[in-house]
Amino acid sequence: MSLSLPQKGVDIPSLIKSLHQNNMTGFHVRDKKELLSLLRTFIADGTTVGCGDSVTLEQTGVFDDLRKRKINFLDKFDPALTREEKREIYLKNFSADTFVTGANAVTMDGKIFNIDGNGSRVAPMLYGPKQVLVVVGTNKITEDAQAAVKRARQIAAPLDAKRLNKATPCTALDRCIDCRHKERICNDFVLIAGQFVKDRIKVIIVNEELGY
């Protein structure tokens, strides 16, 4: 994949180098078309693929593309699924060949940060699937972990709570106040600083602003 000039002067090559130093791999693509092409090289026919909630993956057409592939796609978005059936999919994600997801932030020193509600997205990122593909836009890149947490809490979480029609205070205030609401989605704060298995996690940076 060819490298294009990153948005907002972000030093993408340095970020990719940092990911490599943390035993992860980084890639940079220009647009959605290049993204889908690259994902196809990582996901073989006949394999099992799970996914996490991600506005980025929706916007880039990744979910639609996976549904067309000759793979066993663990599609958690089927509206006919019962709560228990969806839970079964979450558990199957651990034994998937590939888990595809977005992220709330990726830091310049090569770390991945996410806030999750029930852990179904971050848990397979940490353990289980043979490979994890993380897709992010350039708007998800932060200077460090502190900025990543701030970005996730004050930008991503309120917008996601609105998308999910939650009644949490952040949906009205447009900012996090560290509430104790029963519908709170900020329950799991997970920073991935490295990997034992080299290149198990592959971070793909799309040269666009995507998701929250």
30-65 per-position pLDDT tens digit: 999 999 999 999 999 999 999 999 999 999 999 999
What is the distance between the alpha carbons of residues 65 and 102, in angstroms, rounded to a whole number? 16
What is the distance between the alpha carbons of residues 160 and 175, in angstroms, rounded to a whole number? 11
Amino acid at 11: D
- Using DSSP's 3-state secondary structure scheme, residue 205 falls into strand
What is the distance between the alpha carbons of residues 103 and 112, in angstroms, rounded to a whole number? 7
Element of type H or E holding 20: helix 12-21
Task: Kindly state the tokens that stand for 14.
Answer: 């340095």
Average pLDDT over residues 7-21: 89
What is the distance between the alpha carbons of residues 82 and 186, in angstroms, rounded to a whole number? 24
pLDDT at 5: 36
Residue 13: name the closest of 105, 23, 2 by CA: 2
pLDDT at 2: 32
Confidence tier at 212 by pLDDT (50, 70, 90): confident
Looking at the predicted structure, is the pLDDT value of residue 198 above 70? yes
Share of the chain above pLDDT 90, in %: 78
Share of the chain above pLDDT 70, in %: 96
Average pLDDT over residues 89-115: 97
What confidence tens digit (pLDDT) does each residue in 132-187 have?
Answer: 999 999 999 999 999 999 999 898 888 888 888 998 988 998 898 888 898 888 89
Looking at the predicted structure, is the pLDDT value of residue 1 above 50? no
How much is the mean pLDDT over the chain? 92
pLDDT at 8: 57
Is residue 49 a contact partner of residue 97, using CB atoms and an 8 Å limit?
A: yes
Average pLDDT over residues 176-199: 91
Q: State the DSSP code for 166.
A: -
pLDDT at 159: 86
Backbone angles phi, psi at 133, to 5 degrees: -105, 115
Residue appearing with tokens 């900012």: 175
What is the distance between the alpha carbons of residues 77 and 153, in angstroms, rounded to a whole number? 25
Looking at the predicted structure, is the pLDDT value of residue 6 above 80? no
